Amino acid sequence: MLLDSTVEFWSDADMPYVETRRACQSRICYKSHSHPTFSIGAVDAGQSHFSSFFAQDQLIEAGCLVAIPAHVEHSCNPLPNQAWSYQMMHLNATWLTALVEELQHHTDLNVDFDTPYLPKFKPKIINERNIYQAFSGLNAVLFNPQLSLLQKEHDLIQVLTNILLPNFNWEKIQPSHYFQQHLSDLLECLEDNIENLSLQYLAEKMQLSRYALIRLFKHCFGLTPHAYQLNYKVNQARQRLRESDRDLARLAYELDFSDQSHFHRVFKQHTGITPKQYYKKS
């Protein structure tokens, strides 16, 4: 007997640095993507194929935890014709870095998660039951409508600092030597106008062939220039939908999608839900 697929979200305007979801019996597949947030995923049931340019592909199953630092390209999808259940939490990288800085006098943690554009640390997969249970318990607290925000903030900080972060052994991503001298110019171009950049413009600006530029993007970000740009637009859309923007046609236009249907399709490929479902989650 097939069980119904469900997905639920929790977020709160008074705790804007955390957003979390639980999905049950999902068959949705995601395109390779990245987040500006620090993300933690957990498999509750079934199996999934985890893939990233910055790590070895791996099959993960119930009880596994995946820590994905900001800007790390990845995808995590169910096996063909199978469903899986999972949890996914997104933490604001600036907030998390500030939390780690607060703890420097009490722990050995000294990690900067707030790195604009470039991925800094490799993703980590942990298969330890106690860590999975701690994360699941934290998620249950966040979803519990009977608990106060003070209690939720307390448990979030407690579980992160005592259990989760100390058990993620961070391994730095070694910078690629491929056209490394052009990286600062590329980041400057992205900072100026990422939404409307074309491959031709970037190639002329940086005096590189388009082929070399595509390889540079892949080595640095794990994505092609076009995929990187779409991924950026989706992350911008998520941010604006969280804040106040509910006019999807206007948002599609502002982010330079060809039309609202294109925006809808790309957003769902990256997030698993439609823009309308995303802003209704809260």
Q: What does the pLDDT look like over 246-267, one tens digit per residue? A: 789 999 988 888 889 999 999 9
The one-character DSSP state at 135 is H
Look at residue 33 and tell me if it is in a domain: yes
More reliable by pLDDT, 107 or 67: 67
Look at residue 14 and tell me if it is in a domain: yes
Total of domains in the chain: 2
Element (H, E) at 220: helix 210-221
Query: pLDDT by residue (tens digit) across 157-195?
Result: 999 988 888 888 888 888 766 666 777 788 888 877 777
Same-domain pairing of 114 and 138: yes
Same-domain pairing of 237 and 106: no
CB-facing half-sphere around the CA of 7: CA atoms within 13 A: 19
The encoded tokens of residue 253 equal 């236009």
Same-domain pairing of 28 and 112: yes
Q: Residue-wise over 228-239: b if at least 16 C-beta within 10 A, else e? A: bbbbbbbbbbbe
Look at residue 173 and tell me if it is in a domain: no
The residue out of 137, 167, 197 marking a domain boundary is 167
Look at residue 175 and tell me if it is in a domain: no
The encoded tokens of residue 23 equal 């999905």
Same-domain pairing of 161 and 37: yes
Same-domain pairing of 14 and 130: yes
Amino acid type, 121: F
Query: pLDDT by residue (tens digit) across 223-244?
Result: 998 899 899 999 999 988 887 7
Look at residue 112 and tell me if it is in a domain: yes
Q: What's 227's domain CATH number?
A: 1.10.10.60
Same-domain pairing of 153 and 85: yes
Same-domain pairing of 48 and 113: yes
CA atoms of 181 and 122, how far apart (whole Å): 22
Look at residue 172 and tell me if it is in a domain: no
User: Which of 11, 6, 40 has the alpha carbon at shortest distance from 142?
Assistant: 11
Work out the average pLDDT over 131-150: 97
Same-domain pairing of 45 and 104: yes
Would you place residue 1 in the very low, low, confident or very high pLDDT band (cuts 50, 70, 90)?
Answer: very low
Look at residue 174 and tell me if it is in a domain: no
Length of the chain: 282
Q: What's 125's domain CATH number?
A: 2.60.120.810
0.85 exceeded by pTM: yes
Domain that holds residue 129: 6-167
User: Which of 250, 227, 198, 238 has the alpha carbon at shortest distance from 73?
Assistant: 227
Same-domain pairing of 190 and 226: yes
The residue out of 167, 197, 224 marking a domain boundary is 167
CA atoms of 222 and 216, how far apart (whole Å): 9
Q: Is the pLDDT of residue 123 over 50?
A: yes
Q: Is the pLDDT of residue 281 over 90?
A: no
CA atoms of 260 and 273, how far apart (whole Å): 15
Same-domain pairing of 46 and 108: yes
The residue out of 167, 200, 218 marking a domain boundary is 167
Name residues whose C-beta falls within 8 Å of residue 175's C-beta, 6 or more positions apart in sequence. 183
Same-domain pairing of 141 and 186: no
Name residues whose C-beta falls within 8 Å of residue 62's C-beta, 6 or more positions apart in sequence. 43, 44, 45, 46, 47
- Collapsing DSSP to helix, strand or coil, 39 comes out as strand
Look at residue 25 and tell me if it is in a domain: yes
Amino acid type, 91: L
Would you place residue 111 in the very low, low, confident or very high pLDDT band (cuts 50, 70, 90)?
Answer: low
**Most confident range, picked from 93-102, 108-117, 146-155:** 146-155
Same-domain pairing of 88 and 221: no
- Collapsing DSSP to helix, strand or coil, 52 comes out as strand
